[in-house]
Amino acid sequence: MGLWSFLLQAQSLTDYVNPFIGTKGMGHTFPGACVPHGAIQLSPDTDTIPHNVNGVYQKEVYRYCAGYQYDDKSIVGFSHTHMNGTGHSDLGDILLMPTVGSIRLNPGVKEDTRTGYRSAYEHTDETARPGYYSVVLKDYSIKAELTATERVGVHRYTYPEGEGNLIIDLNHAIYNYAGKVLWSSLRVENDTLLTGYRITNGWARVNPVYFAVSLSKPIVRYGGKELSPSAVYKGFWRKFDQEHNFPEMAGRDLRASFVFDCTDGKPLEVKVALSGVSTAGAMENLKAEAAGKSFDFLHAEAERKWEEALSAIRVKGDSDKMANFYTSLYHTLINPSVYTDTDGNYRGVDQNTHQAGDFTNYTVFSLWDTFRALHPLFNIIDPEKSRDMLASLLQHSQQSVHKILPVWSHMGNENWCMIGYHAVSLLADGITKNIPVDKGLALEAMLSSSNLPYYDGIASYKKLGYVPLEENASAASITLEYAYDDWTIYHTAEKTGEKAIAETYKKRAANYKHVFNPANGYACARHADGRWMENPDIYDTSGQGFIEGNALNYSYFVPHDVKGLIACMGGDRAFIRGLDNLFTDTLPASAFEHTEDVTEEGILGSYVHGNEPSHHVPYLYMWTSQPWKTAERIREIFDKMYQNRIDGLCGNDDCGQMSAWYVFSAMGFYPVCPGSDQYVFGAPALDEAEIRLEDGKTFRITAENLSGQNKYVKTVFLNGKPYTKAYLTHQDIMNGGTLRFVMAGKPGKRAYRESEKPYSLSNDIN
């Protein structure tokens, strides 16, 4: 046992994780408690920015995608659902807040915590670890601790001696607006058990969240109020006092309070089970996961689950790197999240209850982001979860009225967020990497998804070979992404022996060429009649036919045919010049002013790492005559954009994609073209990394002589033998073995031979 192994055993991997990273600025992460891919993300919310006030959109809502901003001085309460680093806000379901003294049912204003139930807090009184969060609520001298199981949020509130209150605010929501809550209901089943639900119309178009709450102390007295002004009917319904100790409450804006006797000094433990199906489902979840188990026991369980999940990759590096790596790995293991009850029931996108049978249904698929590296990562470190996620996608397509795979799957809803039909990439990557999936059903769903005529210009795309600008303001970026997606279908059809389909999609995969403007070598939007958009501005992110990006960055999105892309851009020299410019040019300040997903921290020269379309771009040098520049760029990105600081993330974590980029890149390779079996080499950031594989195998990566200066890969050895290709294959990893990088302060290999370069579609065509 070497020193390193010894050290690893001495310290838990969870110790390296800092859930606060990304909570300051625009990381949109949350610091609260969850278990890997659990349905529960129980976390403090510091502000409740409504989506709009009197119809006026509140821009600040974007900062509060995860409900928590580190700079805020007060906490509103603890709600049970949060997304990890999304670029759109929602959820924040079922808020609990412990208080003492007179009952307040409104959160109050941020400037003065005395105006409501919210409380001030100090970061010095705050702890966040995987599966555990605690804070002291200063206004009430209450210590609040949170942990979670997959489907149960677990609270422990230590009140001062005397009476303690528990507020349940069923109106609280992230991305709230007047009327977001369509209906809510709360039943006091007995003095230690509540059930209920609420249905919201938020980003998730209609999201019913059912709950069951068990309490470790009996309720002494309780009350509820329906505060909605539009609930005109309530007065008629209520023939006797239903605001005090009446066990059945409902309405559009329901707030309830419960009082407990805390003179014995014992804390109140509250277990909140959620279900997307029914309160009966929530009860089953409560029983299956938390009944009879103490906070401490469940906290230890959560810790154990995280330790187990994080040990999928054991790495060595300096403390900052360890923190970066394990915090990144932690962030990749939050979304997608479980959306199935313990009994297998789940709510489908047809809003019917389905029985999953042999798989676990997942939701929160931010596919435009996560097809790139997050799902490829799962295919290495957790093929079983990947299998279930792919099954979830296929079930979605069966239940969808459009019969398509999800675009952005969110609590049994299709959010239609961003572009493309990237679920096909997940299926293709899964099939390539031997994840068990019904291939026939997969291909059928891929075909439906890529032929839905009314979705984002597909009808015209099929006719013209590109989406025309007059049909869609994001036409050029859509065309690029459709072409890649079509490549994954081509690839899958080939694998499954569907030659005719393969032929069709092989052609469609080359459609990206239709939007490359020979005048400047960049992608450009076109009109239906073939004309190029006039006076294109390759820097501007608005009105140029690209979504959340500019031509300067987006043009590189041809991951499946870099060789063809290089040709479109004028050949090797021009291509390198273009990439160099991208990474060194200064972007005009105006370029991203319309795109809230991109912040200054996420920009390197003109390269935008803070948003996804360019994530693979630093790896594209590997196809050129100057491959070592990949290592240079990646090191710059490591140093600037992944820092062990609370504001260390350069942009939204985007459900783990930003973090998955780091996890791969830090190990020295990246899945530039998911669906292929190749991982393109970059340059490692870690001295050592060991991937745990199925059947007890491991894949061990070492980076010899790695240092601040030694950022270049000089030579590579696979299983002890010199390795000359620009990429690893999936099988190379899954076989187990060792990968040895020898690092140097100067560039190594001058260029790869054609046969050593990674995959390009052009090779299949020519």
Interacting residues toward a second copy by CB under 8 A: 51-52, 55, 177-180, 182-183, 185, 187-189, 195, 197, 199, 201-203, 205-206, 230-233, 236-241, 245-248, 250, 252, 278-280, 350-353, 401-402, 414-416, 454-456, 472
Q: How far is the CB of 477 from a second copy (least distance, A)?
A: 14
Q: How far is the CB of 79 from a second copy (least distance, A)?
A: 19
Long-range contacts of 451-457 (CB under 8 A, 24+ apart): 452/402, 452/404, 455/402, 455/404, 455/421, 456/419
Q: How far is the CB of 81 from a second copy (least distance, A)?
A: 18
Can you spell out the DSSP letters for 10-33? HS-GGGG--TTTTSSSS-----SB
Helices (H), 69-168: none
Name the residue nearer to a second copy (CB basis): 472 or 676.
472
Q: How far is the CB of 199 from a second copy (least distance, A)?
A: 7
Residue that has been written with the tokens 């709600």 in this structure: 79
Query: What is the token pair recorded at 615?
Result: 């994530």
Task: Count CB atoms within 10 A of the CB of residue 411.
Answer: 26
Q: Look at residue 688 and give its three-state secondary structure.
A: strand
User: Strand 52-53 relative to strand 56-57: parallel, antiparallel, unpaired?
Assistant: antiparallel
Report d(CA 150, CA 131) in Å as an integer.
11
Name the residue nearer to a second copy (CB basis): 99 or 415.
415
Beta bridge partners of 669: 681
Task: Count CB atoms within 10 A of the CB of residue 701.
Answer: 24
Report d(CA 735, CA 270) in Å as an integer.
46
* HSE-up of residue 743 (Cα within 13 Å, Cβ side): 24
Q: How far is the CB of 516 from a second copy (least distance, A)?
A: 25
Residues 738 and 720 sit within 8 Å (Cβ to Cβ): yes
Q: Which of 443, 486, 442 is nearest to 461 (CA)?
A: 486
Beta bridge partners of 674: 676
Name the residue nearer to a second copy (CB basis): 182 or 259.
182
Q: Which of 255, 268, 321, 407 is nearest to 642 (CA)?
A: 321
User: Strand 698-704 relative to strand 737-744: parallel, antiparallel, unpaired?
Assistant: parallel
Name the residue nearer to a second copy (CB basis): 52 or 590.
52
Report d(CA 89, CA 173) in Å as an integer.
10
Asked if the peptide bond before residue 336 counts as cis, ω within 30 degrees of 0, the response is: yes
Q: How far is the CB of 239 from a second copy (least distance, A)?
A: 5
Task: Count CB atoms within 10 A of the CB of residue 304.
Answer: 14
Name the residue nearer to a second copy (CB basis): 88 or 129.
88
Element (H, E) at 223: strand 221-226
Q: How far is the CB of 220 from a second copy (least distance, A)?
A: 16
Length of the chain: 766
Q: How far is the CB of 182 from a second copy (least distance, A)?
A: 5
Report d(CA 119, CA 108) in Å as an integer.
10
Q: How far is the CB of 177 from a second copy (least distance, A)?
A: 6
Q: Is the dihedral of CA 336, 342, 347, 348 positive or negative?
A: positive
User: Which amino acid belongs to residue 42?
Assistant: L
Name the residue nearer to a second copy (CB basis): 101 or 453.
453
Name the residue nearer to a second copy (CB basis): 184 or 432.
184
Query: What is the token pair recorded at 544?
Result: 């140029």
Q: How far is the CB of 187 from a second copy (least distance, A)?
A: 4
User: Which amino acid belongs to residue 539?
Assistant: Y
Give the largest Cα separation in the chain, rounded.
84
Residues 554 and 591 sit within 8 Å (Cβ to Cβ): no
Q: How far is the CB of 558 from a second copy (least distance, A)?
A: 24
Q: How far is the CB of 528 from a second copy (least distance, A)?
A: 16
Name the residue nearer to a second copy (CB basis): 473 or 742.
473
Alpha-carbon torsion angle 80, 82, 88, 90, nearest 10: -10
Region class of 544: left (phi > 0), else alpha (psi between -120 and 50), else beta: alpha
Residues 121 and 206 sit within 8 Å (Cβ to Cβ): no
Name the residue nearer to a second copy (CB basis): 288 or 300.
288
CA distances 38 to 149, 269, 377, 647, 708, Å, are: 7, 20, 18, 25, 38
DSSP label at residue 241:
-
User: Which amino acid belongs to residue 194?
Assistant: L
Q: How far is the CB of 326 from a second copy (least distance, A)?
A: 36
Q: How far is the CB of 172 from a second copy (least distance, A)?
A: 17
Query: What is the token pair recorded at 532?
Result: 């190029």
Report d(CA 25, CA 406) in Å as an integer.
30
Name the residue nearer to a second copy (CB basis): 244 or 721.
244
Q: How far is the CB of 467 from a second copy (least distance, A)?
A: 11
Q: How far is the CB of 459 from a second copy (least distance, A)?
A: 11
Q: Is the dihedral of CA 44, 334, 197, 47 positive or negative?
A: positive
Q: How far is the CB of 552 from a second copy (least distance, A)?
A: 24
Report d(CA 287, CA 322) in Å as an integer.
37
Q: How far is the CB of 52 from a second copy (least distance, A)?
A: 6
Helices (H), 314-366: 319-332
